[in-house]
Amino acid sequence: MKKKVLKNMEWGIVICSVILLAIGMVALFSASQSTDYDSFIKQGQWILVSIPILIIVTMIDYNFIAKLSPYFYGIFIILLIAVLFTEPINGATSWFDIGGASLQPGELSKVFVILFLSYVICKLQERGKKEINKLWKLAVSLLIVMVPVLLIVKQPDYGTAMAFIMATVFIYFIAGIRTKYIIICLLLLAIILPLVYIFVLPEHAKTRIEIFLDPEKDARGAGYNVIQSKLAIGAGQLFGMGLLKGNQTQLGFLYPKTTDFIFSVIGEEMGFIVSSLVIILYVILVTKAVYVAKTAKDDLGSYIAMGIAGIFFFHMIENIGMTMGLLPITGIPLPFVSYGGSAMVTNFICLGLLLNISGRRQKAIFAE
3-state secondary structure of 96: strand
DSSP of 181-204: HHHHHHHHHHHHHHHIIIIIS-HH
* pLDDT tens, position by position, 206-263: 777 887 888 887 778 778 889 999 999 999 999 999 999 999 999 989 888 999 999 9
Which 8-state DSSP code applies to residue 84?
G
| Burial class of residue 264 (count of CB atoms within 10 Å of its CB; 0-12, 13-18, 19+) | buried
The structural domain count of the chain equals 1
* pLDDT tens, position by position, 87-126: 887 777 888 887 767 889 999 999 999 999 999 999 988 8
Phi-psi region of 252 (alpha: psi -120 to 50; beta: other; left: phi over 0): left
Evaluate the CA torsion angle 212, 217, 221, 223 in order and state its sign. positive
Q: Which residues contact 269 (CB under 8 A, 6 or more apart)?
A: 27, 30, 236, 240, 241, 242, 243, 244, 245, 246, 249
What percentage of residues in the chain have a pLDDT greater than 70?
96
What is the pTM for the complete model shown?
Answer: 0.92
Find the mean pLDDT for residues 314-337.
92
Distance CA 245, CA 267 (A): 12
- CA distances (Å), origin 158, targets 100, 165, 205, 230: 25, 11, 9, 23
Q: Which residues contact 129 (CB under 8 A, 6 or more apart)?
A: none
Q: What are phi and psi of 132, to 5 degrees?
A: -120, 0
In which domain, by residue range, is 118 found?
A: 2-367
Please report how the helices 262-295 and 341-359 are oriented relative to each other, as an axis angle in degrees rounded to 10.
Answer: 20
Q: How confident is the model at residue 362 (pLDDT cuts 50, 70, 90)?
A: low
